[in-house]
Amino acid sequence: MVKVPTKLVTWDEIVEWSMGLSEVIKRSEFKPDVVVAVSRGGYVPARLICDFLLVDNLVSLQSQHWTEAAKVAEKAIIKFPYKIELSDHRVLLVDDIVDTGDTLILARDFILSEWRPRELKIAALQWISPVAKIKPDFYYIEVKDWIWFQYPWTRHEDTAQFIKRIIVEEKEKKEWTLSELEAKFRDSYGIYVGDKYFKLALRTLVELGMLKEENNKYLVRSL
């Protein structure tokens, strides 16, 4: 049984969803002067939306909640706060997904109080409606059952964290083969990211001192 249901998102899907979201925004007749990406997840969708809506102005704000793949930190925080003047601008705040909504709420409130835009709307590729504390003004996909979207821009990071979690949960097992880890990964997450990303993630865990590669096996060292 899959422990963490995961959707492996492709680059083509990101382009398709971003284009679809842009069409939703167009139909509303809201025309942003500035797009604000919620970093890090909102970077790529925000840039694509700028392209599809022909918006020149793109800035970012790092509102962070998720500190590890499919695990949530205690609270959202604004990292590296700064001020810009947007009082004459209509602003579109863009993120990849609205899960709890805490990061978007924090970013929205910060922009309204510190940047003072003429108007502010929120857009996201996905909205997980049963758990989100906020509904975006624009979204492309409503998700009614919680799932972890594994986006292409976090593939290496998420894969390394997922493998680490497998090793931590199987703490009595101190030695793994590549095929054992791959099989456990598929069982736990219902996906496989491909040899390139999987081996890159393993190499990263070796470089961090968590694993040691020896005789075609991975020995657990420090977690």
CATH of the domain at 140: 3.40.50.2020
Tell whether 29 and 110 lie within a shared domain. Answer: yes
Is 214's pLDDT higher than 70?
Answer: yes
- Which residues, in sequence order, are CB contacts of 58 under 8 Å at separation 6+? 34, 35, 36, 37, 46, 47, 50
Q: Which domain holds residue 95?
A: 6-150
Tell whether 93 and 141 lie within a shared domain. Answer: yes
Is 22's pLDDT higher than 80?
Answer: yes
Total tally of structural domains belonging to the chain? 2
Per residue in 93-136, pLDDT tens? Answer: 999 999 889 889 999 999 999 999 999 999 999 999 999 999 99
* Cβ pair 7, 143 in contact under 8 A: no
Closest CA to 132 of 140, 148, 143, 120: 143
Closest CA to 223 of 145, 171, 149: 171
